Structures are given as C-alpha cells and as structure tokens.
Amino acid sequence: MKKTLLLLFCGLLITTKPLFADEGMWLLPLIGKLNYAAMQRQGLTLSAEEIYSINHSSLKDAVVIFGGGCTGEIISSEGLLLTNHHCGYGVIQEHSSVEHDYLKDGFWAATRADEIPTPGLSVTFLEQIEDVSDKILPELAGVTDERQRNAKISELSKTLRDTITKGQKNIRVMVYPMFNDNAYYLFTYKTYDDVRLVGAPPSAIGKFGADTDNWMWPRHTGDFSMFRVYTDKDGNPAKYAADNIPLKPKRYLNISIAGFEEGDYAMMLGYPGSTDRYMTSWEVRERMNVSNAIRIYVRGIRQEILLEDMLADQKVKIQYASKYSGSTNYWKNSIGMNEALKRLKVVEQKEATEKQFAGFAAASGNENYTTALDDIRQAIEGREKNYRILRYYTEIFPNIEIQRMAGRALDYLKALQDTSGKAIVDAKDKLLRHAETFYKNYNAPTDVKVAKALLKVFTEKIDKADWPQILINVEKKYKGNFDKYVDDWFAKSVFVSFDKLKAFTEKPSARRLRNDLVIQLATSGQHKANALGAALQTYSLQLAKGRRHFLAGLMEMQPGKVFYPDANFSTRLTYGNILGYDPEDAVHYNYYTTLEGVMEKEDPDNWEFVVPGKLKQLYLKKDYGRYALPDGKLPVCFLSNNDITGGNSGSPALNGRGELIGVAFDGNWEALSGDVTFETNLQRTISVDIRYVLFIIDKYAGATHLIDEMTIVEK
C-alpha cells in the first residue's frame, strides 16, 4: 500500500495544479512541476531555477533561519541581514541597560567596529533539499507496531544524516516527515555563529502599537532590525573573533523602491514553523478547549503582573521586555484563533470532510482508511484528562522563573549525589554560565507575585490526586497557605539570586540542595510531568497512526487536488498577490498604510502609541526623499494573500523579479484560524514596506552607510 501511495503522490505532483495560487507552503524543488505556470501567469519573471538551485546561486541562498525561530534575508554583498524587530528583540534587550536602552532609543552601528557581537546567535543557510521517501518508506513495509516504526525511521534518518555530515563542519542535516509521515525530505543546512547587531529602530517604531495592534490591520509598525554575518578569513563559518570578516554571500537580494499596486504578484521564502491543516474535528476542539484555553487563562494572569512591574520600573521593563512580548504574542494569537475557528465554523467544515471520508473509506475496503478516524477520535478522547493536566503543568511551572532556574540545576544535583571530581566541576560551570544570563533578566519581587498567582491557579484547577507529591505534603505543613510557602522559597532558597547560587557552589552540599524548597518542587513536578507524558505515549502513537492513514486516504479521495505538507520549520515558498480585504459587511481594508496613520494613532500617554519626536518632525516637513508614494505620502505596511505562520516572521516579501519589497511580520486577526485552515477570502500577510525601512535607516537614523552598501532598484 505504501508503494502505491508514494506513486500516487508523485503522480499528483506532476499532473495537477493548485486550486488556489495563494494557498500552500510549497517545497522548493517541486515548484517547477507544481506551481511555476500559475506563478508566471500572476507575474513571476524568474525561472524556477533562479528561485531554487543546488548548482547555481538562487534566491534560496539569500534567505536564512535567524536564531531559533525566525527568518532573515541577506541584503548586501557584505553579509548585511534584515529581519523583524521582534525577531531581534531578545538580542536588542540583551544588550540594553538603563544607561544604554536600545529598546527605547534604538541602536545604529556607525562603523563595523561598533557592530555588537552576540554569542549564541546564529544564522543558517539552506544548501539543498532531497526527497528521500524511496529510501525510507520501502523499509517500513510490514512494520505495524508504531514504536518499531518510529525506531526504524530514526535509524534510517541517522544513516542518511551521517552519510552527508561525515567529515563536514558546520553542516546540519534534518530529515523531515511530510504529509503526516507519508513522505520524507532531507534538508542540508550550513550554520554561521558570528552574527552581530548592526541596527534597530526604537521600539516606538519597531514595536509601534505593541499588544493592541498585534495581529491587527491596519498596521503601522516598522518591524525590522539589522545584523551582519561574519566568517573567518577564508569565508568559513567560525565563532566570534575580532579579525573575522563580513560574509561574502552566494546571493543577496536587490531592493525595489519602484512600488507596487493592488493585484501585483508577491511571493515569500521562509521558514514557517507549524501548521495543522489536516486536523480533524476532534483535534480542533482539543486545540480550542484545552491548549488555547489554558494558555489564554494562565498567561493572562501572569502578564498582568509583569506589565504592572514593568511600567513601574525602567530596569524591570528592560529585563522583562522580551519575556513579556514572547508571552503575549501567542496569548493573543490563541484568543484570535479561537474566535476565528468559531466564526468560520471550522469544526463543522472538518466534520463534513470526515463524513465524506468515512463513506470513501468504507467503499475502498482499505482497513487503514476505515480505522483512521476511529484511531484519531479514541486517542483524543482517551488522553483528554492527562493532556489537560499536562498543559497546566507546562504553562504554570516553567513560567515561575525560579522554578525554571531550579530545573536547570537538576543535573548539578545528580552530579553531587552520584559522582565526584570533573563531572561536578563541569555541571557547576554549565549551571553558572546559564545562571549569569538568567539573573541579568530576573527580578525576584516580580517572580514572587507570579509564583503565588500561578500556584493558586494550579491548586484550584487540578485535582489534588494529580499534584506533585511535594505540594500535597506542603498543603498539610502550611495548612493550605501556599503564599507562605512561596515566601519561604525566597527567604531560604539558594536560587533567589546569582550571588546566593554562586556562594552555594563554592561549598556545595547534595543534602542541602536536595532539601531546597524550590528544587524539591522542581524535582517532584518533573517526576509527575514525566509520568503524565508516559501515560500519554500510547495515545500519541495511536493518534500519529490515525493521522497518517487519514491523510493518505484523503489524498486518494481527492485526486484532483494538490496537497502541500504542513509547515514544520523547513524552507517553503508561498505566492499570491498584493491584496486588501473585506473583514465584514460594509467594511473594506485598503492594501497599504502610510505615516499619516501613525500620527492618527499617536497617544503620548499610552506607551504603545508614543511617536518619537524626530519622526514627527520628518512627517511635518514631509521629508521622505525617494521613498515617498507618487501622492507624496510615505508607505508603512502592506497586505498580501501569501500563506504564512509563525517562523515566517522576517521572511522577504518579493516581487515578480525577485526583488525585496517588504519584510513579513504578522497575520490578520480575522484569519488567525490559519494554522488549522486557510480562509481564501480573509487570510492576509502583513509586511513592513521596504521603503519605510529604508526611510527609517536613511532619514531617521542617518545611517546612510548602510543604504550605500545595498543594491536599490528605483524603476
């Protein structure tokens, strides 16, 4: 059956066209067969090989994984890199202090020597993609046990990876399952570890609108930051060294300020993180009622505490800026997703597909298809209780920061208990390296408030039988006063500050560490979470099997449709058009915004909508230079119907000639169901217009040396 499925899959790739040109996250080696004709009709003038080639430089060589979860693009022959402000936010925050607050004031390196090294930050380039389905799927024939199947896949994937990485430095190979484990692709990457901060606008530009405008249109955010990639003197990836040189890239993007109109072609290359477009109705309900609901509730409580302390103290504001931003991003996404899934009746749509599939499966006589939906339903229903409990564990305990720090000390505790000598020294050094970074951005009084609030949530929402054993003991000892319990953490624990932890490691005691109140809960909580995870394993295997067979059958049931794989942070291309939309009756949204809108939103009493004085001066003078629209206004953001999700942040928005016209940074509120289903009429990508980016660099920051190293196309 698997061989037949693979042949069917390959046949679909060759013989059919996509139903909607704007829907889909397409694998680069297949666009010549699948998408190229449609892309040409819409305005693409490049060849398929100019987008993806393993023998010649192509657009894929200019697009990178930035850090661990964003996309970036190279925009000069000197390794200059552009990504979102929110992607660089953690780095900008890391280098900020009360004396040099780059979040508030922005940062621009006047010379290469002023560019700030950022240990731990890397960028990764795609080298090539290979379909290895024929090297894996035939080996799985006859393997019916899911654990054995997974073990075999791991073994085969390792062999494929080792073949490529042997003798190679800085090469990373990933074998990605596609189409719910019905196909496999091997991606080869090269990673560069010397990446330096070059420039960032103040948050009043780069994060204008903050949480209120997040996921919303109209948008007026200059969401960009700039870095530079460095290599050793021979052009090879290398750790930071003062004599490293700027990267000489295989390809960098030309930048177009010629403008565009509604309906013009637009495409994006990037690294979309995760979608679940082939979810069933049971899975959608679980996403809404468990994962999203718990995230919304728990993070909402924590974020109120963080924001109150951030607004009261500039130091705390800097310390928690990145944490708060990261938390609120997916908190608001979850709210919008639930609203959109209900409004668009996605569960009902899924149920209709499942009803059709059940009829097809029965007629097919294929046992895998006839049992697929039952496998999925039984797995979701069977895991409901433990899955819900585990979601509370993962939202609550890691977000009590002192608990997270104690969790990092468990290896050190193990070394103290089980070994001596070098193992203890190594574990200590590792712990202190992490602690130095952790405590730089830690405020104990804030964490006290968070700990009390989240423990209250946990003890109210979770039955006592499912608590970590230590909490059951503590309830008796403290007579239910968990606030007093938390106060004792911060009075007695070695994890309250870096100085206390460092002093402890100078004269360590396994017994003392084992009896530390914070590490007791970390240990007990991890033990309980591991037990919950183990109890869920059987259901996870059943769910994976059902999903695999359901999608295989769905592809066979709909032979006239081209299926694209869900996002999994591997390189994808999406294409479509510059396009506005109608969010509701009698309402139309234009496809672009201008600086006029920034001024209309200005509110000096609201930190989210403060406008820098210099930007207001430039606006009043209409000093926009060559970046203005024909009517004299300055563009800020624009919409396209490209298909994106998290991870695409920082992706280049390109015109039909492959020139950079913007940087993608968000989706729209009305279509936040997009991770589960693509809504053709509503789904939009929000990008910052490259003309606004260049205006801020040139006119606002005066960093004309950066403009000079770019290749800018004016016509």
Amino acid of residue 349: Q
Sign of CA dihedral 191, 194, 200, 203: positive
CA atoms within 13 Å, Cβ hemisphere of 508: 20
- Omega cis (within 30) before 218: yes
Residue at token pair 């942040």: 649
Catalytic residue among 181, 194, 223, 466: 223
CB 24 within 8 A of CB 18: yes
Sign of CA dihedral 441, 444, 445, 448: positive
Q: Helix (H, G, I), strand (E, B), or coil: what is residue 171? A: strand
Q: Nearest-CA neighbor of 190 among 246, 238, 154?
A: 238
**What is the distance between the alpha carbons of residues 63 and 77, in angstroms, rounded to a whole number?**
14
> Helices in 558-641 by DSSP H: which ranges?
595-601, 613-621
Token output for 307: 């924001």
**Which run of H or E residues covers position 663?**
strand 660-667
Report how far Cα 261 is from the mean position of its chain's Cα atoms.
30
DSSP codes of every residue in 1-40: -HHHHHHHHHHHHHH---S-TTS--B-GGGHHHHTHHHHH
Q: What is the dihedral of CA 336, 342, 344, 345, to 10 degrees?
A: 160
**What is the distance between the alpha carbons of residues 132 and 157, in angstroms, rounded to a whole number?**
9
Amino acid of residue 275: T
Three-state secondary structure of 415-467: HHHHCCCHHHHHHHHHHHHHHHHHHHCCCHHHHHHHHHHHHHHHHHHCCHHHC
Give the chain's length.
715
Sign of CA dihedral 627, 631, 633, 638: negative
Q: Nearest-CA neighbor of 187 among 470, 572, 652?
A: 572
Q: Does 649 participate in catalysis according to the annotation?
A: yes
Q: Nearest-CA neighbor of 707 among 358, 308, 279, 198?
A: 198
**What is the distance between the alpha carbons of residues 75 and 123, in angstroms, rounded to a whole number?**
14
Token output for 89: 């936010």
**What is the distance between the alpha carbons of residues 314 and 301, in angstroms, rounded to a whole number?**
21
List of E strands, 536-590 = 572-577, 581-584, 587-589
Q: Residue 317: CB partners within 8 Å, gap ≥ 6?
A: 310, 311
Report how far Cα 26 is from the mean position of its chain's Cα atoms.
18
CA atoms within 13 Å, Cβ hemisphere of 137: 22
Catalytic residue among 86, 96, 193, 524: 86
**What is the distance between the alpha carbons of residues 687 and 577, in angstroms, rounded to a whole number?**
13
Sign of CA dihedral 392, 395, 401, 406: positive
Q: Does 223 participate in catalysis according to the annotation?
A: yes
CB-based burial, 281-298: b 16+ in 10 Å, e otherwise = bbbbbbbbebbbbbbbeb
Q: Does 689 participate in catalysis according to the annotation?
A: no
Catalytic residue among 649, 651, 673, 687: 649
Paired strand residues for 577: 265
**What is the distance between the alpha carbons of residues 599 and 490, in angstroms, rounded to a whole number?**
46
Residues labelled catalytic: 86, 223, 649
